[in-house]
Amino acid sequence: MANIHDYIKWRGDLPINDQFPFNELDNLVLARLSYMIFNKITMTQVETIGSVSDKMKDFLNEEFIFNGDKELITLLGMSNRFKNMIITDYVQNNDASIEQQFSAITIHISESEIYVSYCGTDSSILGWKEDFNLAYMENIPAQFSGLEYIKKIASKYVNTRIHVGGHSKGGNVAIYAAIFADESIQNRIIDVVNYDGPGFDQRVLDSIPNPTIIDKITTYLPQGSIIGRLMEHKGKIFIVHSDAKGILQHDIFSWTVMKDEFIRFYKWTNGSEIMNNSVCEWLKNTTPEKRKIFIDSIFELLYSTSAETFNGFTKVLVQKLPTIIKTYSNLSDEDKSVMIEMLKLFIKSYYDSLKSTGVSKVKTLKINDKNNSKRGEDVE
């Protein structure tokens, strides 16, 4: 089925104007742009999408963060709709000492409209550790960096209106930056879009200074979403159709499109419901302190292999198995006990959810007619 690559092939020759306005697929394209390998090319102060596409053309597909990104930047470089957009203010700040993986970039759609794009989790173990920290922390470092970034961009380009977006953790960071930005910045924000990124601890949502910003937030989740349904959300939610299975639906290149919009779906899959209910129950029945011990211990085992990415971990797993076993044996008795307890609780939560979840209990969004499909579901 058609995906975002096909959209660029179909509509890439059309300029953004009143006749062909900026749409939800354009939004996804620019949210994804922050995943490109800007750190592997020489960036001048001002680039265009076309110029960076040209600089990335000789990189192999496997040198990009994820499969599909090389094709995306190649298509964008040939697209009249996107290739002349100016790119500025790329930042990358990965800091293991504070467990942060952060990068962002600003795209100038026109002289009066910009897009702040936050990169989501890359393939690094560091990036995933920061994600898992959301299970016991109200805030993660990337959220604070995201807030500082939008403040800097807003003050640098004072006469612009701002789109804010990101995929995965980038979507979470986009929302955080928007809801805690100064009201003067919020007034300039056009929309805030999260593509299958996790939500927030309820304490964070309860502390939003200016609740009117919630009206500008939209979250898109595939029908089998797992990552995007973690924690609590505010704003509108749309279910979109993915042609992948399970966790692979997190890949935006599996999301199906028609003309200039996503193909909507009408309900969550049973798998998504079961996993979501399991995680919610697990979080309810465990403490942040024990979740921290559990997550830190798991990642201590991963780090013991010296692998920097999960792909690297799988390659050295057999070779490094003695090291992993030794690291586990060196954990304190208390930490081992907590790990086992937490695993048992999750297995129980999953089993209970499996027993209780049926087709009749799957939540649906009432988006069968045109008006509802445009409106989405508002999360109070």
Q: What is the pLDDT of residues 12-21, one digit of tens each?
A: 999 999 999 9
List, for residues 147-192, the tens digit of each pLDDT value: 999 999 999 999 999 999 999 999 999 999 999 999 999 999 999 9
Mark whether 53 and 174 lie in a shared domain. yes
Mark whether 166 and 115 lie in a shared domain. yes
pLDDT band per the 50, 70, 90 thresholds, residue 354: confident
* Residue 45 scores a pLDDT above 90: no
Total structural domains in the chain?
2
Asked if 249 contacts 225 with a C-beta cutoff of 8 angstroms, the reply is yes
Task: Specify the pTM.
Answer: 0.90
List, for residues 265-276, the tens digit of each pLDDT value: 989 999 999 999
The residue type found at 257 is V
pLDDT score at 116 = 98
Residues 6+ apart with CB under 8 A from 324: 301, 304, 305, 317
* Residue 371 scores a pLDDT above 70: no
Mark whether 221 and 294 lie in a shared domain. no
Mark whether 91 and 168 lie in a shared domain. yes
Mark whether 355 and 207 lie in a shared domain. no
Mean pLDDT, residues 321-327 taken together: 95
Mark whether 241 and 305 lie in a shared domain. no
**CATH number of domain containing 51:** 3.40.50
Q: What single-letter DSSP state applies at residue 379?
A: E
Q: How many CB atoms lie within 10 A of CB 141?
A: 18
Mark whether 226 and 346 lie in a shared domain. no
Distance (Å) of CA 306 to CA 65, 90, 125, 129, 317: 19, 28, 10, 14, 11
Mark whether 244 and 356 lie in a shared domain. no
* Residue 357 scores a pLDDT above 80: no
pLDDT score at 375 = 41
* Residue 220 scores a pLDDT above 60: yes
pLDDT band per the 50, 70, 90 thresholds, residue 356: confident
pLDDT band per the 50, 70, 90 thresholds, residue 204: very high
Mean pLDDT, residues 109-119 taken together: 97
* Residue 379 scores a pLDDT above 90: no
Mean pLDDT, residues 336-362 taken together: 82
Mean pLDDT, residues 33-57 taken together: 96
pLDDT score at 374 = 42
Mean pLDDT, residues 82-104 taken together: 96
List, for residues 228-253, the tens digit of each pLDDT value: 999 999 999 999 999 999 999 999 99
Mark whether 172 and 194 lie in a shared domain. yes
Mean pLDDT, residues 55-72 taken together: 96
Q: Which residues pair with 106 in a beta bridge?
A: 88, 116
* Residue 380 scores a pLDDT above 70: no
Q: Over the chain, what is the mean pLDDT? A: 92
List, for residues 277-295, the tens digit of each pLDDT value: 999 999 999 999 999 999 9
* Residue 363 scores a pLDDT above 70: no
Residue range of the domain that includes 229 = 4-268+363-379
Q: How many CB atoms lie within 10 A of CB 281?
A: 17
Mark whether 164 and 38 lie in a shared domain. yes
